[in-house]
Amino acid sequence: MEDKKKGFHIKWPWDILLYILLVAVLRVFAIPVIIFLVSQNRKSAPDGPNDGYCMRQAHARMSMLLWALLYLFIAVCLGVFCYAALTETQGCRETQDYVKIVVSGLAAVVFAGLGAYSVFVGLRDSLFPEKGELAKSIKEQVAHPENYASVRELFETVDRDIEENGRWFGNIAVGKEWILGQRACLISRIRAVFFRNEIRTRSTGKRMTTSRVIQVVIMDDEQRSAIYDLKSLKDLEAIAACLEAEAPDAVFKPYKEYVNYNAMTPDEWEEFLLEYRRKATK
């Protein structure tokens, strides 16, 4: 079979640094440029990432810095508005002026906090993957995490399965043993799966906007949940069929029932696990 020719590929972390530079120079006009570059970079990338699939997922968390820039920009705007309200209404403030000051001030703090958190998580997960969410999720599920000498060795347990058996649904990969997204999930430990397809409606003044939430939520044998975002109903249907084949004894439910399983007491959860084991041994 002939090797597929690939074009020019920008390696991590230079691609992320380029995107940040574009945002700093072009501001909001950088968004379509970044989307185009991300699409082209994926098309021209090697068939398998040099650092492994898990490391690529960890490096991708650097993109949270773009969200951090947006949150911090909003925080600055709200801070300026709060300061202007403080100075302009000094000495003749009415109740609505106090409301504007308090609301804008609190909102500025919230967005500044979101920005700081996004910077922290993005840098932690991408530069120190051994401390990131993905590594933590794998350590929670392997039998003896202390036996792995490095994070690369830990990631290799998932990478081998994805490379040999991986089926991709957007950014989510399902192998024979593992599911890989921002978190990893050991298929043998899956006990319940919930499918979410919701349309959210939000009104701001006279304008109404809608957004669609498409997710798969997986609950393991210790009642831990992993949430995977999908981009299309086609991916949702395909991953549902895949998971039903790989984990046939698990419970498959619509998302509205997730809260009931998540709120189970230890005794109720143990009873659920006993029922699972009875079903699995039939």
List Cβ neighbours of 35 (8 Å cut-off, separation of 6 or more): none
Q: What local confidence, expressed as pLDDT, does residue 220 receive?
A: 94
- Reading the block at residue 196, the tokens are 């979410």
pLDDT of residue 56: 85
Q: Would you state the pLDDT for residue 44?
A: 59
Q: Which long-range contacts (CB under 8 A, 24 or more apart) does 252-257 make?
A: 252/192, 252/193, 252/194, 252/195, 253/192, 253/193, 253/194, 253/195, 254/194, 254/195, 254/196, 255/194, 255/195, 255/196, 255/197, 255/198, 255/215, 255/217, 257/194
Q: How far apart are CA 57 and CA 52, in angstroms?
A: 9
3-state secondary structure of 269: helix
CA-based nearest residue to 220, from 190, 243, 249: 190
> At 5, which amino acid appears?
K
pTM metric for this prediction: 0.73
Q: Under DSSP, is residue 201 helix (H, G, I), strand (E, B) or coil? A: strand
Give the chain's residues under pLDDT 50: 1-5, 46-49
